Structure 1
């Protein structure tokens, strides 16, 4: 039942909203992962970012796409939790578990659900900034993506830069403003063997895509 509702939501509501009302241009769509396991990382400036990234995939592939989201926000009530898990298909992350030690004395891994999803050959969407930032501005990248890829070094990491959605529905705003948006897809990144060099590579790739977005086309 929820598969049908999910299909109707994305194709009957989300797609017309983003592709018709706002408008979306995708550069190098062919670089998107066709199957899992794979990670898709992107900048994060709007509530619409997740929907837009999921709409980059076909309906068939989208069934295997799982966006990472904060459990304390998306599971705060039963209705939102049902919508987030059943329709969007989020992987809820307990941010309160970051740095916490379990009853067995072992450090709790809040990103375990991500590695489990990759082991199920799913495509996971992750925002390295960890939270929505100011419109069209890159925030500080957290090292969670390095933590995941270090454990699954053969998993490709596809970078995407989203341009325009931060102006269409920025953080703290509820009014949608029509604004043409672009998604710039980059070449896949792989684990370098070192956390610092990998994060530098991630930052450089996203920054390069951001520069492409801000480059005049005339």
Structure 2
């Protein structure tokens, strides 16, 4: 209830007033899970904006994956991240225990969650797509029948880019793509992921900053 109140009366209104959101195909957004939303990552605002797109049952089911070493590093940030954003914290480390690393995400998917995931890992350079890490492949291999939906954000890298503490109001374009399914061929899967994200980015015909 507290999460709903904070997003409804504080976060969502601020985002809608300060940022001009131009959303293509919003009706394609899922209203229930399990499903994995993959998006590019340029700003700390990405997750708040994405969560704000969901309402009703979809909002209740939406859970972003985030780096535990960052979002759990102090009490206030941890409280907000766990209780309001409802993040699924994971450790950013090299490990051979892939199943153990992704276990919290798989459990959330089994509960019908809408998972928000950034295949690039950490935030990249403003408005530039970084190379996607293969973690998404190993995650989806655990639940190959769950759909994956690409979503491209443009503008938030200008509003609050990596390394900046100064927020600049800016128009934000959001492109929602069609869901697709896992392919056990890793190269083919990663190629398709890149192609779908590139296609969404190219829809905007954006100029370089």
Return the TM-score normalized by structure 2: 0.94
Instruction: Check the 8 A contact 1:66/1:89 in 2, yes or no.
Output: yes
Cα distance, 1:60 vs structure 2: 2.9
Match of 1:80 among 77, 82, 99: 77
Match of 1:204 in 2: 195
Cα distance, 1:134 vs structure 2: 0.8
Match of 1:104 in 2: none
Structure 1 unaligned spans of 5+: 102-106
The 5-angstrom pairing of residues 9-48 of structure 1 reads 9-48=6-45
Match of 2:141 in 1: 150
Return the TM-score normalized by structure 1: 0.90
Match of 1:62 among 48, 59, 67: 59
Cα distance, 1:109 vs structure 2: 2.6
Partner SS, residue 121 of structure 2? coil
Match of 1:190 in 2: 181
Match of 1:130 among 111, 114, 121: 121
Structure 2 unaligned spans of 5+: none
Distance 2:48 2:204 in 1: 20
Match of 2:95 in 1: 99
Cα distance, 1:78 vs structure 2: 1.9
Match of 2:50 in 1: 53
CA RMSD of aligned residues (A): 1.5
Distance 1:66 1:83 in 2: 13
Distance 1:30 1:20 in 2: 21
Deviations 1:14-53 (A, max 9, x none): 1122111111011011221221100000000000000111
Instruction: Please say which of residues 149-158 and 36-45 is displaced more in the overlay.
Output: 149-158
Cα distance, 1:167 vs structure 2: 0.4
Q: Rg: which structure is higher?
A: 1
* 1:163 aligned onto 2:161: no
